[in-house]
Structure formats: C-alpha cells, structure tokens
Amino acid sequence: MNHFILLITSLFSIGYNIPDLKDGDIIFQTSASKQSELLETVTKSKYTHVGIIVKSSNKFYVAEASSKVKITPLERFISKGKNHRYMVLRSNEINESKFLKMKTFVKGLLGKNYDLKFQWNNDEMYCSELVWKAFNRVGIKLSEPKTFRDFNLSTEVAKREILKRFKNSIFSLDETVVAPVDIAENKNLKLVFSNY
C-alpha cells in the first residue's frame, strides 16, 4: 500500500505540470542504476542518464539506451531516477523534419543492447551516445566528443569496472566517448525544466 501511495504522489509531483514539452527535448537524470556511481565518479557530474522526449497519442515517452535501446513512458523514466529529479533541455534547431529523421535513426536501433564498454560504434549503444548520434544525424553537434583519457579513471571504482568490463578485450584510452554532462553543458540548449 505504501508503494502505491508513493507512486501516486510521485506522479502528481513529476511532469504533468511541465510547461511545453516537445519532441526532441533532452531529459537528464541521476540514474538509480548500479552504474550511476561509476558515471558520477568518472564524469564528476550528477547527470548519469539521458534520453530524448518523444510524443505519441498525446502522451510523452523517452527514447533511451538503458538495458536496451527502447521507448519508455515518461513517468516510468522519471521514476527510475534518484528522488525523481530530472532536467529538460531544448535545442531551438529542432524542427519537425529533423525530429522525424532522428526518430527514424532511433527506430533503427531499437532492441540493441546497452554498451557497457562505451564504444563508439553502433553494435551496442549507451545513453549519451544514442542522444548525441541522433542529433548529429540532423547536423546538430551537442558537444565535442572526448576520449576515455579525458575522464577521471584513477579511482578504485573506475579501475574495478575497467578490469571487469574489458577483461578479454582491449581497453583504449583513445576511444571516442560522450557523457551526459557533456551534452548538459551545451550553452546553446535552453532550460525547459529542472527540479534538481
């Protein structure tokens, strides 16, 4: 019963009063996943997960790479974040034509596994890679890509995860990578909403 009351309370406090959400808005959160600690440590940011807002039949969803590339109801996406906190940013360069191209790109990736090695190919996909590539597909560069070398990999959490994830493959410090915080710091994106 307590879980039901918490869910109803959170649904009224999250998003139904957000002004003017649009297709192509970018939503950030601090994920409650096991991986969030790693991302917070290496990127030095609270933003550990990101997706793209999609509207369908007057309801909002989020295109995201989580366990797989998928479309998640907005309220479900928000409920997966710590304390239901999230931020929404908007690119003024998005129009209907560009969004349809982005949507087609994401549709072609649906079902792909989450990329635990954060590699810059389309075999698997991680969250910020999905968002960055969808926007790049229509000529919008959300950030300059970085490499692993640019992140804080000296912590025990990072060292442990690198050993675990790359035990049978090569780990390259020169691998292209983009993090949620890289997108969040784009000065050309307009703040739509934040409850952080």
Catalogue the E-assigned strands of 22-65: 26-31, 49-56, 59-65
Q: What pLDDT score does 97 carry?
A: 98
Per-residue pLDDT reduced to its tens digit, 16-71: 456 589 999 999 999 999 899 999 999 999 999 999 999 999 999 999 999 999 99
What percent of the residues of the chain are helix, what percent strand, and what percent coil, each to the nearest 5? Answer: 35, 25, 40
| Alpha carbon distances (Å) from 163 to 106, 153, 158 | 31, 12, 9
Q: What pLDDT score does 10 carry?
A: 46
Q: What pLDDT score does 34 carry?
A: 85
Task: Say how many domains are in the chain.
Answer: 1
- Residue 173 CA to chain centroid, in angstroms? 22
Helix, strand, or coil (residue 176): strand
Q: Which residues pair with 125 in a beta bridge?
A: 114
Q: What pLDDT score does 7 carry?
A: 43
The residue segments making up the domain with residue 130 are 2-194
Q: Percentage of residues in the chain with pLDDT exceeding 70?
A: 90
What is the CATH number for 149?
Answer: 3.90.1720.10
Helix, strand, or coil (residue 135): helix
Q: What pLDDT score does 17 carry?
A: 55
Q: What pLDDT score does 13 carry?
A: 47
> Concatenated DSSP letters for 95-151?
-HHHHHHHHHHHHTTTTPBB-TT--SSSSSB-HHHHHHHHHHTTT---S--EEGGGS
Q: What pLDDT score does 15 carry?
A: 43
Given a cut of 50, the residues of the chain with pLDDT beneath it are 1-16
- Give, rounded to a whole angstrom, the gap between the first and last alpha carbons of the chain: 28
